[in-house]
Amino acid sequence: MNFYRLMLFIVLLQSCKFTTGYSVLALVTDFFLSSYETLRCPLGDCCNNFWIPNNTTKLQVLLKQDVFGQHIATEVVTRQIEAHLSNPSPSKPLVLSFHGWTGNGKNHFASLIAKSLYKKETESRFYHHFISTVHFPHQHSTQLYQDQIRSWVRGNVSKCAHSLFVFDEVDKMPSGVLDGIKAYLDYVDRVDGVDYRRSIFIFLSNTGGKEITKKVHDIWLKGNVKREELTVRDFERLVELGAFNEEGGGLHQSRLIEKHLIDVYVPFLPMEKMHVRLCAENEFKKHNYFPRNKEAALQKIVDGLHYYPEDKELYSTTGCKRVAQRVSLYIAEERYNNRAYERRHHDSSEL
Ligand SMILES: *[C@@H]1O[C@H](CO)[C@@H](O)[C@H](O)[C@H]1NC(C)=O
Ligand SMILES: *[C@@H]1O[C@H](CO)[C@@H](O)[C@H](O)[C@H]1NC(C)=O
Ligand SMILES: *[C@@H]1O[C@H](CO)[C@@H](O)[C@H](O)[C@H]1NC(C)=O
């Protein structure tokens, strides 16, 4: 009897799906699964499918919503991560090197990857973000830092194979530090009993920014190829050589490059006014704010930034980096003015 009641209950729940558009059963299951997983992992975040869901759709959605003017990076990185996650036995960890001027969104891009990989997004215990000027500040401590990152990476990967390591400001890192983890990035099954092949490493640097900009500008001048037609192949050698030869910096004469352990060099292109505009529009959307005159608002944000080369003013010197702050400021100002206007209006109507 009870069994039939249960069945009836489930059928009823399922039929709600047709009336509300949501599957109540799925919601209930989700709720219990979440509670169970949270109980099982008191710290939140365990190294399993629930907390690391292997969902590349999320990455695509995030990149589409939140990254502008980077068609090469978007395509290449999505493809690489998808391939890496769907490979039942990768032969080495995925190693990506992002290049381009500050403000072009390398850091933001890396954090979106972390967001898509982990349920706890950038708060995940398996996401590790190193900043050279903070973690590796002294040019003469290469040996110490090599030992440090070797032990950090080893310690963390032995806890969870699906770890993500982002090394920011690699160009400011003492050269040679990254060679400390060279053995982990190679085509080997295990190093000292630890398997690194499911992890992802991302290096961010400004190196090659000049060459990338020049290339983009050159094709703009020639005018026969569109920016959107450029591919990763157009930049690969350029960036690789730039990174290897530039004096100082974590990739200078690095064994990682020599040994071809970096899977892709991802160029971040300089951002045009059009892209800055899209960033601004997106920021207003995030604030859920509709300016009184949208066109004027966007124009004001775009015009408030600096562009180069000086005579043509094509590319934003700071990419979209300043946009969020400018938009907040704009909103605050407009709200203030609105209130002032209302007060005046109110006062005059009382007279
Ligand atoms: C993957 O992520 C997308 C976008 O966030 C979401 O709509 C979808 O339900 C997720 N898929 C799974 C299987 O969790
Ligand atoms: C991730 O999903 C893909 C396909 O959706 C599957 O082939 C692959 O085995 C999954 N990887 C892991 C580690 O679960
Ligand atoms: C994991 O990495 C962090 C740095 O992000 C480090 O402080 C910590 O000691 C590492 N854990 C282990 C077990 O090595």
Q: Which ligand 3 atom lies nearest to the CA of residue 154? A: 14
* 245 and 140 within one domain: yes
Residue 17 pLDDT? 54
What does the pLDDT look like over 180-223, one tens digit per residue? 999 999 998 888 889 999 999 999 999 888 889 999 999 999 98
Q: Is 46 among the domain residues?
A: no
Determine, yes or no, domain membership for 338. yes
Instruction: Tell me, yes or no, whether 128 and 219 share the same domain.
Output: yes
Going from the Cα of 113 to the center of ligand 3, the distance in angstroms, rounded, reads: 20
The pLDDT value recorded for residue 135 is 94
Give domain status of residue 306, yes or no: yes
The residue among 267, 298, 316 that closes a domain is 267
Residue 29 banded pLDDT, cuts 50, 70, 90: confident
Give the DSSP per-residue string, 187-226: S-S-BTTB--TT-EEEEEE-TTHHHHHHHHHHHHHH-SS-
Do residues 140 and 180 share a domain? yes
Measured from the Cα of 61, ligand 1's closest atom is 4
In terms of domains, do 77 and 223 share one? yes
Q: Is 256 in the same domain as 175?
A: yes
99 CA to centre of ligand 3 in angstroms: 26
Exposure string over 251-288, b if 16+ CB within 10 A, otherwise e: bbebebbeeebbbbbbbbbbbbbebbbbbbbbbbeeee
Amino acid 239: pLDDT: 85
Same domain, 24 and 72: no
Query: Quick check: is 331 in a domain?
Result: yes
- The pTM assigned to this predicted structure is 0.87
Average pLDDT over residues 98-114: 93
Q: What is the band of 287 on the pLDDT scale with cuts at 50, 70, 90?
A: very high
d(Cα 107, Cα 97) in Å, to the nearest integer?
A: 12
Q: Are residues 135 and 100 in the same domain?
A: yes
- Tell me whether residue 50 is in a domain: no
End-of-domain residue from the set 211, 240, 267 = 267
In a domain, 48, yes or no: no
Per-residue confidence (pLDDT) for residue 348, from 0 to 100: 73
Co-location of 260 and 344 in the same domain: no
How many angstroms separate the CA atoms of 233 and 235, rounded?
A: 5
Which contiguous run of DSSP H or E holds residue 315?
strand 315-316
Which ligand is closest in space to the CA of residue 153? 3
Give dist(CA 262, CA 254) in Å, integer. Answer: 11
Range of the domain at 291: 273-350
Q: Are residues 80 and 227 in the same domain?
A: yes
Average pLDDT in the 71-94 region? 96
208 in the same domain as 68 = yes
CATH of the domain at 220: 3.40.50.300
Region 107-136: mean pLDDT is: 95
Smallest-distance ligand from the CA of 160: 3
**Is it the case that residue 248 has pLDDT exceeding 80?**
no
What is the mean predicted confidence (pLDDT) over 290-299? 95
Residue 4, in any domain of the structure: no
**Is the predicted pLDDT of residue 334 greater than 80, yes or no?**
yes
Same domain, yes or no: 88 and 234: yes
Per the structure, the count of domains in the chain is: 3
Task: Compute the distance between CA of residue 315 and CA of residue 82 in angstroms, rounded to an integer.
Answer: 31
Residue 139 sits in the same domain as residue 246:
yes
**Which of 251, 267, 283 marks a domain boundary?**
267
At 21 the pLDDT is 58
Distance 189 CA to ligand 3 centre (A): 22
Average pLDDT estimate for 137-153: 94
